[in-house]
Amino acid sequence: MNAVTQALYDRLAGDGILIGMLATYEAEPAVFTIDPAPGDAVLPYIVSAGDVVDAAWDTKTGLGRRIWRDVRCYAAADGDAMLIEEIAERVRRLLHRRPLAVAGYAGIVAECSGPIKADEQDAYGRIVTIRMMLEET
């Protein structure tokens, strides 16, 4: 897993409040860094895999990257969307304007947008998009 994926996984899977809202998968919190999630995964879970944007953000004195990553949250469509709203808001709270330790980069603060609705037939879905400016060390 790359450094950005690892940093996001560590932040999300390391939060006791968030993992208390999620299912487990193979004795770990259901925070997946592969897409799609495993077919035998049980809701609710989170998927954060791959970047929406990965562009150069270079200056005269250094190299950097501008990365946008979607964190997709899913819960069972059981007639009450409260749980998925709580999960998505917790994801946003954990990442928005919070320093993020990404190996090989310095001074990382993420900015979030959303959550936006992304319901599916059998699952409620919400997407929180994280924007990061990364400067190589």
What are 124-137's pLDDT values in tens digits?
A: 999 999 999 888 88
22 and 29 Cβ atoms separated by less than 8 Å? yes
* Structure tokens, 47: 């998927």
DSSP class of 109 = B
Angle between helices 82-95 and 3-13 (to 10 degrees): 120
CA distance 48 to 64: 21
Give the CATH architecture of domain 3-136: 2-Layer Sandwich (3.30)
Residue range 24-50: mean pLDDT, rounded: 95
Placement of tokens 């998925």 in the chain = 84
In which band, very low, low, confident or very high, does the pLDDT at 19 lie, cut at 50, 70 and 90? very high
Domain locations along the chain: 3-136
In which band, very low, low, confident or very high, does the pLDDT at 66 lie, cut at 50, 70 and 90? confident
Q: What is the predicted pLDDT for the residue at 135?
A: 84
Please tell me whether residue 18 adopts helix, strand or coil conformation. helix
